Structure 1
Amino acid sequence: MEAPLDIAEKMAQLTEHWRPRVAAEFSGQELRIVKAEGTFPWHFHEDYDEVFIGWKGVVKVEFRDRIVSVHPGQVFVVPRGVEHRTVADTGEVEVLFIAAAGARNTGNVDDHVYTAPVGVQA
C-alpha cells in the first residue's frame, strides 16, 4: 500500500449486497469489505478462520446453538470448520472481514445467488 486505505470511501463505492470486495492483501489473507442486508446461507470454511469487524450497523453471526451480535468497532472470529450464517435484519450493514486469499465467500456452499466472484478489488 502506498497510502492509508479509506474504508468509508471504499464502502461508499459498493452497490450490491453480499458481494465482498478485496480492500487489501497481506500474508496470504484478504481484508474484504461488504454491504449486507437480509440472511446469508449456512456454510463453513474448512481451511481458515473468518474474522468479522463491525463497521456500520449490527451484523449477527448465527450458529445452530447461539447468535452473536457484532457491533461497529467490534471484532469476532468464527473458527474454521464451524457452520454459521450472517444476518443483517435491521437494515443495511457494512462489515469488514479477513479471510484466506482467494477463498470463496460461501465456503463449502456453491450458491447461485450468494457465491461472489473471487478476488474482485474494491
Structure 2
Amino acid sequence: MEITLTTPALLFPALSLLLLAFTNRFLGLANLIRSLKDRYASTQNRLIYNQIENLRVRLILIRNMQAFGSLSMFGCVLCMFLLFAGYATIGKYVFGFSLIMMLISLALAIREIQISVNALKLELDDLKEESRKSI
C-alpha cells in the first residue's frame, strides 16, 4: 500500500471534531458534577452520591478518550513528517499506530455512552418508583 502526505491529513477533520465532542462532554460532566455535589452536600441523598460516582467513571473514560484521540492526532502529524522526510515505511507504521489510537478512543466513547444511558435509565426507574409511591 502506498501512503502519501494527504492520507494522514484526511484524519484531521475527523479527529478535530472528535476531540471537540469529547471536550464538550467533559465540560458538561464537570458542570453536572459541581451541581450534584452542591445538592449532595445539602441533602446527603444516596442516589445523588451514586450519580456522582457514575460521573467519576465517565470522567475517567472521557479523559482517556481525549488522550487516545490526541495520540492519534500526534501520530498523524508524525506520520506526515516521516513521509515528508522520506521514511515511507516507518510512516506507514506510525499511521497504523494512529488508526489504532483512534479506534481505542472510539471504543472508549462507546463505553462512556453505554454508562451514560444506564445512568439515565436508573434515574428514570427512580422517577417511576416515586410516582408509584405517590399514587
TM-score normalised by the chain length of structure 1? 0.21
Name whichever structure is richer in helix by fraction: 2
Structure with the greater alpha carbon radius of gyration: 2
Going by fraction, where is strand more abundant, 1 or 2? 1
